[in-house]
Structures are given as structure tokens and as C-alpha cells.
Amino acid sequence: MDAKITVSVIKADIGGFVGHSSVHPCLMERANECMQKAAGDLLVDYHVASVGDDINLILTHRLGVDNEQIHSLAWNTFKSP
């Protein structure tokens, strides 16, 4: 069995909460909710982080590099509900 794991790190500069210093807590919560829904299905594991006003998705999965499903997951997480 080939157990290759891909690590994808996807960053979005979504705009700041209080200038460019942080991400609004509601946006971090939404990102975590979206990743939790995908965990076990698309994702092996994930971590949602932020640096300044950027949200970072650190994702492990078995779908390979540049996978459309992973990129769609990130896009749908970052777009307006």
C-alpha cells in the first residue's frame, strides 16, 4: 500500500480586523468549522492558523499536489458565505 501524504499550506490575505494586525475571531471559527467538516473525508488532518490578517490552512491529505478538491475547499472557506 502506498501511503503518501501531501501537505498543502494555503494562505489568504482576507483583510484585517483592527488594521492589518489580526483576523476576526468569527472568520477563524468559520475556517475551523469548514476544516472540521472535511476532516476524515478529504483531509487526514488540518490546522488553522493566522499571521497578521492572513488565515493559513495547513492541510494533510492523500489527494496529491494541486488537487482541485483541496483548492475548492480552501476557496469555499475563504469566500463570503
Q: What is the value of pTM for the model shown? A: 0.88
Q: Does the structure show a pLDDT above 70 at 81? A: no
29 CB-near residues (< 8 Å, 6+ apart): none
- Residue 61's closest CA among 35, 32, 33, 31? 35
Domain boundaries, the chain: 6-78
pLDDT in tens, 2-38: 679 999 999 998 877 777 788 999 999 999 999 999 9
